[in-house]
């Protein structure tokens, strides 16, 4: 599992609104990246129309889906659609919460169980730390099954706020209708469109991230209380009062900068890489050849192959870029719980960091910038306190 948000991998979080519930504000990198390339690569009628096979009817644009000009979200159905997105996001958030919970405990360095001796693919003896399933079973033994959902309430509120914010911003600042282009001759026009829409998605993601981040901080602190068995943060309202009293207004935004940077890098990296790969490596004319997908026996299918390849390109790019931006997620989560009065944010689990850059440098020196990125096969690193007998 490699993620760009405090949850599951961003490429697995769905659309910009519907699947934002899987991440507080990765909430959603993958969603923001998912729609841009698809809209940018839709073949234009003027260039791709076949003389004998008319172009299929155009699909509703993102604007129509948001309720700006009819369609799914138009009229009285807009609030219903938005409520459906929030409910769907809440369901995904609840299902993925044990995964995030275990991941966060690993990120802060809490290893309550000793490693086990095993062998790698080369037959060498190595030490493996407990996997997600073993760790989750340990949590159930300590806190019961309900313990796997510690910190879920503020996370649900954070994701709902993020989803509603993105939906409201789309209504206030609807995306411009831009001519769809896809062939290499219109590369400059297509690139300008990708840049414009990525900028638009970046604006929405940054605003929703900033508004939802205080609840994300509360959720992180509720979860890491498992380490020291504390009960300092028990409810959303009481947690807000404690943070404001002890740390002031800035206490709600600790760890925000690395999360924002990770979101921005993910959006631009994923969208631009997918755009250039689809533009230069995916050939729309392959189906125009005799016997190809666009022949008389299969009319209208000349677009299907290219569209399928492009969808896989976005998926693969989402995985790759999320892995590269994972250190931003790790640093942001560690800063959210650092020096807050909980054992997980104090020595010996963690030094008291002066800034997120200090945290980044500390993890880099120890070779721990990707700590917690894998939840199944977790080898003991060379710098760990564990060693072979």
Q: Render 95-147 in DSSP notation, one character per residue.
A: HHHHHHHHHHHHHTT---S--EEEE-TTS-EEEEE--HHHHHHHHHHHH-GGG
Rounded (10°) angle between helices 256-281 and 326-337 = 170
Q: How far apart are CA 302 and CA 48, in angstroms?
A: 9
Question: Which DSSP string do the residues of 343-364 spell out, in sequence order?
Answer: GGGSTTT----SSHHHHHHHHH
In three-state secondary structure terms, 379 is strand
Rounded (10°) angle between helices 256-281 and 356-366 = 70
Q: Among 209, 180, 204, which Cα is nearest to 33's?
A: 204
Q: How far apart are CA 103 and CA 113, in angstroms?
A: 15
Q: Which residues of 281-301 are buried (b: 16+ CB within 10 A; e: fewer)?
A: ebebeebeeeeebbeeeeeee
**Residue whose pair of structure tokens reads 């789309």 in the numeric block:** 170
Token reading at 152: 């879920």
Q: Is the distance from CB of 165 to CB of 212 less than 8 angstroms?
A: yes
Q: Is 347 left (phi over 0), alpha (psi -120 to 50) or beta?
A: beta
Q: Is the distance from CB of 282 to CB of 43 less than 8 angstroms?
A: no
Sequence-separated (6 or more) residues with CB below 8 Å from residue 195: none
**In the prediction, which pLDDT does 337 show?**
96
Q: Among 29, 26, 21, 20, which Cα is nearest to 6's?
A: 26
**In the prediction, which pLDDT does 313 show?**
83
In three-state secondary structure terms, 378 is strand
Q: How far apart are CA 196 and CA 155, in angstroms?
A: 31
Cite the DSSP H helix spans in the chain.
27-40, 45-48, 62-65, 77-107, 132-143, 152-172, 187-228, 236-247, 256-281, 304-324, 326-337, 356-366
**In the prediction, which pLDDT does 81 show?**
79
**CA dihedral sign, ordered 170, 173, 179, 182:** negative
Q: How far apart are CA 136 and CA 266, in angstroms?
A: 29
In three-state secondary structure terms, 233 is coil
- In this structure, the number of other CB atoms found within 10 A of the CB of residue 320 comes to 15
pTM of the model: 0.74
> Could you give the strand order of the β-sheet that contains 116-119, starting from the edge strand earlier in sequence?
116-119, 125-129, 378-379
* pLDDT tens for each residue of the chain, 389 residues long: 333 443 444 443 333 333 333 344 444 454 444 444 444 444 444 444 444 444 444 444 433 333 333 334 444 566 787 788 889 989 999 999 999 999 999 999 999 999 988 888 888 888 889 999 999 999 999 999 999 999 999 999 999 999 999 988 888 888 765 445 455 446 677 788 888 889 999 999 999 999 999 999 999 999 999 999 999 998 899 999 999 999 999 999 999 999 999 999 999 999 999 888 887 777 665 544 444 444 445 544 555 676 777 778 878 888 899 999 999 999 999 999 999 999 999 998 899 999 999 999 999 999 999 999 988 888 886 555 443 33
- In this structure, the number of other CB atoms found within 10 A of the CB of residue 71 comes to 18
**In the prediction, which pLDDT does 190 show?**
78
């Amino acid at each position: 599992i490699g993620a760009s948000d405090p949850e599951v991998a961003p490429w697995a979080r769905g659309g910009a609104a519907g699947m934002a519930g899987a991440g507080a504000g990765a909430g959603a990198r993958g969603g923001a990246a998912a729609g841009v390339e698809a809209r940018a690569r839709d073949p234009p009628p003027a260039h791709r129309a076949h003389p004998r096979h008319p172009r299929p009817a155009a699909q509703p644009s993102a604007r129509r889906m948001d309720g700006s000009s009819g369609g799914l979200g138009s009229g009285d159905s807009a609030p219903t659609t938005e409520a459906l997105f929030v409910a769907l996001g809440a369901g995904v958030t609840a299902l993925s919460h044990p995964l995030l919970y275990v991941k966060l405990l690993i990120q802060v360095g809490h290893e309550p169980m000793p490693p086990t001796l095993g062998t790698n693919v080369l037959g060498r003896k190595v030490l493996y730390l407990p996997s997600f399933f073993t760790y989750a079973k340990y949590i159930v033994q300590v806190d019961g099954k309900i313990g796997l959902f510690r910190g879920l309430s503020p996370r649900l509120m954070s994701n709902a706020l993020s989803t509603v914010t993105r939906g409201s911003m789309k209504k206030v600042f609807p995306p411009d209708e831009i001519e769809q282009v896809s062939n290499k001759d219109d590369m400059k026009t297509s690139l300008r469109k990708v840049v414009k829409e990525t900028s638009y998605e970046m604006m929405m993601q940054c605003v929703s991230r900033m508004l939802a981040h205080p609840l994300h901080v509360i959720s992180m602190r509720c979860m890491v209380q498992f380490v020291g068995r504390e009960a300092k943060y028990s409810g959303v309202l009481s947690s807000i009062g404690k943070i404001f009293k002890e740390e002031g207004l800035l206490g709600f935004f600790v760890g925000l900068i690395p999360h924002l940077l990770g979101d921005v890098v993910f959006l631009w990296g994923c969208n631009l890489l997918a755009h250039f790969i689809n533009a230069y490596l995916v050939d729309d004319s392959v189906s125009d050849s005799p016997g190809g997908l666009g022949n008389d026996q299969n009319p209208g299918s000349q677009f299907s192959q290219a569209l399928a390849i492009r969808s896989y390109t976005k998926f693969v790019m989402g995985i790759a870029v999320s892995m590269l931006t994972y250190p931003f997620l790790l640093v942001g989560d560690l800063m959210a719980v650092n020096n807050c009065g909980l054992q997980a944010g104090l020595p010996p689990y963690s030094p008291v960091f002066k800034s997120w850059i200090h945290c980044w440098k500390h993890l880099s020196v120890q070779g721990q910038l990707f700590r917690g990125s894998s939840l199944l096969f977790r080898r003991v690193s060379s710098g760990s306190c564990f060693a072979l007998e």
